[in-house]
Amino acid sequence: MKYLVRDKIFAIGDDYWIEDEQGRHAFLVDGKALRMRDTLELKDPDGHVLITLRQKMFSLRDTMTIERDERPLATVRRKRLSLLRNHYRVTLVEGTELDVSGRILDREFTVEYEGELLAHISRQWFHVRETYAVNVVREDTDAALLVAVAVCVIRMAERERED
């Protein structure tokens, strides 16, 4: 299933819809303004919070947490020893690790689990420059989590580029 994201400058307080392949609203990314740390909520079309993304306040490396029902679900960190491509590690609370690698700022990257492709994020399917897709390859995976991971690593990469 492909989810269509119209790229925006990810500023705190920005809200935007992510659509499914049929053009229906699938997720709302709700940026929370006036918070001490960077916070985003991924909501369903009815406004229910599915996942919350939060910047960790006091960490040595740029880190964000992914929460579901106000409980930690995963931690996202940039891998420091990657020279040619951007690499991020997503560590789920039960210990599972997802690898995110590719050209994050170009919106050309993948999310994998033990070498198996879970999602492919790409602009190649669209002619409009500000649009990219999150193609969730496996139907038995948590689409909201994979969309949240994509939004999270793009946000982290954009922030790192600004610094």
What are the φ/ψ torsions at residue 113 (nearest 5 degrees)?
-125, 115
Strand-pairing partners, residue 42, are: 29, 51
pLDDT at 76: 95
Amino acid sitting at position 46 = D
d(C-alpha 101, C-alpha 41), whole Å: 23
Phi, psi of 122 (to 5 degrees): -155, 150
Cα distances from 24 to residues 3, 5, 17, 46, 86, in angstroms, run 10, 12, 9, 12, 31
pLDDT for the residue numbered 153: 93
Decide if 109 contacts 90 (C-beta within 8 A).
no
Mean pLDDT of each 10-residue bin along the chain, 163 residues long: 76 76 92 68 96 76 89 90 74 95 92 95 73 90 95 87 71
Q: What are phi and psi of 21, to 5 degrees?
A: -65, -25
Q: Which residue type sits at 36?
A: M
Q: What is the pLDDT of residue 31?
A: 83
89-92 contacts: CB < 8 A, separation 24 or more? Answer: 90/66, 90/149
For 71, other C-beta atoms within 10 Å of its C-beta total 8
Q: Give the bridge partners for 156, in sequence order.
A: none
3-state secondary structure of 152: helix
Give me the pLDDT at residue 38, please.
76
CA angle 123, 7, 20 (to 5 degrees): 70
